Structure 1
Amino acid sequence: MAHVGATLERLAAQDPNRTAVSDGRRALNRAELLELVTASEVLLAQKAAADRVLVTTGEAVEALGRLLAAARSGRAAVVVDPAHLERHGSRLRQSIGPLFEDWTDISFDSRAVPEEAPKPMAPGPSTPFYIGLTSGSTGQSKAFQRSHRSWTESFRLADEAFGLGADERVLVPGGLGHSLHLFGAIHGLHRGWRVDVVRSFQPLAVLRRMQEAMSTVLVTTPTQLRLLAIAGDREGLRLHCLRRLLISGAKWHARDRELVAAVFPQAECHEFYGTSETSFISHRGPADLYSEGVGRPFPGVELEVRGQDGKALPVGQDGEVWVRSPLLFDRYVMGDEPMTRSDAGWLTLGDRGRVDDEGRVFLAGRGGRMIVTSGLNVFAEEIETVLLEYPGIAQAAVFGVPDTLRGARIVAAVQLADPALAQADLRRHCLARLERAKVPRSFHVAEHWPLTPGGKPDLQTIGAWVLEQEEADAGVSDRSKA
């Protein structure tokens, strides 16, 4: 596994007609995938493309082909979903440029390749190949860079931890702009497994795709898994083909286990904790599923809990989680994250937790004020900034409250400068500026806005008040907040 995509020729030679990737409308076999990737490499060479190339994820099959072409040619693919590109495109181009994005001259139907196609130098293990977007405690999107080694090692260690074999069929039920789903797809293509991606997440349709493809591995967030299990149970479906559930993006709750086991009776559940910057950190497999923690350190990963003085803490004490592994990202190439710090090969994102005497990891909280909702990492500051752009808002604070479906539900406390402002106005304002998943589900109007002695909003007091309001609303309302 010298570099990402290095296996495509061998796989195509072994079994050219075997399906490599499908989005439900378009499918490519291994030979066709190699032709698509090669034609894209030729285009990059002919146009003397910059070292960084833009790959949008609107068409998943093309996006995967372009990413692999960039990787194999020694370039880094900047992978962005269309919504992120619309919102952050200008900043992205200014920060990361020069950025190649002119794919218009290639015919993906004919994929005609010149006989003497230019052969780029093979990338090395430390060559950057992928740049993705993530948020941070500053509320500003950042772009992180990963090397070939960080993902090829992740492939190898994932195979070991999850017991993956040589003949898997992977289904990815979410957009490729999310690093969890992108990793699942590229891992599968690199290993020669069939990869199925979906155009939109409609639970029953996803289950039908899994049945048709005889999927053996599902890469999913807890929210997606819950919705799939609910839909499958309602229809009386039992997917005996599925052997592995790889779950990440938020905490998977015990309440869903029985339902998931009914719909996927043969599937082992593997929950893992990690980030875009670290890849895998810990893994909770079948033997640990009833633990309340996030499992044990992933194979190849060292984990240390440190105190404020930077020294390792004894077992059982809460502190800052630091990791060291060959899977870590290179750096941020756009923006910065003050919670992310390195020290002699070790890295922390500011997450807090502890390790027990059996080596199990327990998280007390993610770094900064991050809210994990529906598998997405969302930061309160970004939403507060948008709310404060509205003339009728004097103060704003955003929180995550417990939610059985999403893991956390985003809600906001606001102090109004305009008493006539309606919640519908706030929602429309947010929808025009934020991805839908980041828009608060409810807004609570506070007449009093407490401050700390330092003159900052007393977020602990305001947050407790918001939770009281949410509980009171739940007591007098029949709504599910779904």
Structure 2
Amino acid sequence: MIIGETIKQLTTKHPDKIAISCDRKQVTYKELHTSIHFMKQQIVTVLRSPMKKKVAFLLENDHQFLSLFLAISQLGAIAIPLDPKWSKDDLRYILTDCSPDLFIGEPIIPNIVSLSLQEFTEQKAKSLPVQDFSADHLFYIGYTSGTTGKPKGYLRTHSSWIHSFSVSDQVFNIENEDIVFAPGPLVHSHFLYAALHALHIGATVYITKKFHANAVHQTLTTYPITILYLVPTMFSALNDVYSKTGSHISHLIKVISAGAKWQTSLKQKAKVLTPHAEVFEFYGASELSLVSVLDEKGYLKNPESVGRAVPGVEVSIRRLDGMRANIGEIGKLFVKSKLVFSGYHNDQKATNEMFHGSFATVGDLAFLDDQGYITLVGREKNMIISGGLNIYPEEVEKVLSTLSQIDEVTVIGLEDTYWGEKLVAVIKWQEGNRLTNQQLIQFCKQKLASYKCPQQFIELESFPYTTSHKIARKEVIKLVERKIEQARM
């Protein structure tokens, strides 16, 4: 089976069912199938034989994005979605790196066949050739946001996501009667996956061109949406709307979250904002797909964990010497499954660093308990070495996030002549709330080893985010360094 293969069958079964709803514009399964067929004809007109060819595109977050993506996939070509929020330099780098056979969007670099969406749709359509390819073919190259270095393109086969769909069916029990809302950017694999899985099983998927908390909250309270995909920062924004309107979300039965660990306070707020919904936190990565899930039963048993491995996924925690770590011992987390990616485009070195035999790792450090629950400690690349001691900023962030006065926090290491790296906590306060540095120091000393206590606290009015709504650490460091430099002047 390939991505999008079920659309034709679903069109026959329920042609008038809503497939996609985007900002009140609705597309039925029949209309989606027609749109995909038209897009396929246009691609064949331009590329003649699209098999294994790369098609990059820079489109709005709407139904045409999904139609084009599915058309590319069904032709045996490779879809490369690009993010309008990326810098021009990143876009040029990515297009140079992937060298697409066709780019749909306004021209960015020369020597690439580029057509605007209007020019693309105005091509004289040709009949479709017979396509013969397997589920092991690539269908998607997704690029990381590049906040910790140059963007890398991760390669995905049809089978890796088809297997992932099967796991999602088992773990989340999403059915074709469900109405799924994926309000984030489709260029981010979490939300693209949510939308494609919903269409794969014949459900209705809601998307939006841009995430605006007020508009998303209104959609959730107006329409009978049952499944919501998000990241924790999105939920915080929705809760802020609730605090002003008092309008909770009653239709939801499942909230599926990824990207970061939920704090206890957020879980408590979820019970008020979405009283009938179970929150599923899943741990994974664009390269690994689903790894583990923490449902509400698991949360009661081990709230600090990211749950247990999902069916078909084998997790191994290994020490630096490569040997399997003992229960409770911290090591690097490795994953073996049919869900993992196929490597990085044009980057064999990074691919080799990811794969160790049949196992893959993104460098996360974790430990297992005797019931199989996985607790993340931090990410190897985020580790700060201060005074010769290893510090994982995620641990410090978790402690500081328990303070009700703090809205968001990230911990960074700044170059220091004495310590090597100085531990700095960067804080965004809740509106109307603030603690003194002395209060913060005293709190940290109660909860953390002395060497893990931040040596400086810096306030920011807002944080920069990646396209996946995570705090962009590299950009935070630049902002803080600039702020410190200005203070010295």
TM bin, normalised by shorter chain, reads: 0.7 to 0.9
Q: CA deviation at 1:337?
A: 3.5
Q: Does residue 244 of the first structure (1) align with residue 254 of the second (2)? A: yes
Q: CA RMSD in A?
A: 3.2
Match of 2:219 in 1: 209
Work out the CA distance in 2 between the residues paired with 1:469 and 1:18: 46
Work out the CA distance in 1 between the residues paired with 2:238 and 2:281: 16
Residue 450 of structure 1 aligns with an amino acid whose one-letter code is Y
Q: Does residue 308 of the first structure (1) align with residue 320 of the second (2)? A: yes
Match of 1:77 in 2: 79
Q: How does 1:315-330 map to 2 (within 5 A)?
A: 315-330=327-342
Match of 1:347 in 2: 360
Q: How does 1:172-321 map to 2 (within 5 A)?
A: 172-290=182-300, 291=302, 292-321=304-333
Contact 2:36 2:71 in 1 (8 A): yes
Match of 1:99 in 2: 101
Residue 42 of structure 1 aligns with an amino acid whose one-letter code is Q
Work out the CA distance in 2 between the residues paired with 1:229 and 1:353: 30
Change (3 A) 1:113 1:243: farther
Instruction: Calculate the TM-score normalised by the size of structure 1.
Output: 0.77
Contact 1:144 1:331 in 2 (8 A): yes
Contact 1:3 1:72 in 2 (8 A): yes
Residue 68 of structure 1 aligns with an amino acid whose one-letter code is L
Work out the CA distance in 2 between the residues paired with 1:341 and 1:254: 32
Identity score, percent: 26
Work out the CA distance in 2 between the residues paired with 1:195 and 1:257: 25
Work out the CA distance in 2 between the residues paired with 1:109 and 1:93: 18
Change (3 A) 1:340 1:221: farther
Moved more, 66-75 or 79-88: 79-88
Work out the CA distance in 2 between the residues paired with 1:295 and 1:343: 24
Match of 2:449 in 1: none
Work out the CA distance in 2 between the residues paired with 1:472 and 1:243: 41
CA offsets 1:150-209 (integer angstroms, 9 cap, x no match):
111111101111122221111112111211111111111222111111222222210211
CA offsets 1:273-309 (integer angstroms, 9 cap, x no match):
0001000111101111232111001111000111122
Instruction: Calculate the TM-score normalised by the size of structure 2.
Output: 0.76
Match of 1:424 in 2: none
CA offsets 1:207-241 (integer angstroms, 9 cap, x no match):
21123331110001011112212312431223221
Q: CA deviation at 1:20?
A: 0.8
Match of 2:410 in 1: 409
CA offsets 1:116-139 (integer angstroms, 9 cap, x no match):
731341441111111111157962
Residue 217 of structure 1 aligns with an amino acid whose one-letter code is I
Contact 2:76 2:137 in 1 (8 A): yes
Change (3 A) 1:44 1:112: closer
Work out the CA distance in 2 between the residues paired with 1:469 and 1:172: 29
Contact 2:307 2:373 in 1 (8 A): yes
Work out the CA distance in 2 between the residues paired with 1:263 and 1:412: 36
Change (3 A) 1:180 1:359: same
Does the residue aligned with 1:224 lie in a helix, a strand or coil?
Answer: helix
Q: Does residue 365 of the first structure (1) align with residue 378 of the second (2)? A: yes
Change (3 A) 1:468 1:206: closer
Residue 379 of structure 2 aligns with an amino acid whose one-letter code is R
Q: Does residue 56 of the first structure (1) align with residue 66 of the second (2)? A: no
Match of 2:27 in 1: 28
Change (3 A) 1:31 1:469: closer
Number of corresponding residues = 412
Aligned partner (choices 136, 144, 149) of residue 139 of structure 1: 149
Change (3 A) 1:212 1:11: farther
Work out the CA distance in 1 between the residues paired with 2:171 and 2:279: 12
Q: Does residue 41 of the first structure (1) align with residue 51 of the second (2)? A: no
Match of 2:109 in 1: none
Q: CA deviation at 1:269?
A: 0.9
Does the residue aligned with 2:127 lie in a helix, a strand or coil?
Answer: coil
Q: Which runs of 5+ in 1 are unaligned?
A: 372-398, 415-447, 452-457
Q: CA deviation at 1:243?
A: 0.8
Work out the CA distance in 1 between the residues paired with 2:203 and 2:425: 46
CA offsets 1:341-385 (integer angstroms, 9 cap, x no match):
2122111111111110011001111231289xxxxxxxxxxxxxx
Does the residue aligned with 2:86 lie in a helix, a strand or coil?
Answer: helix
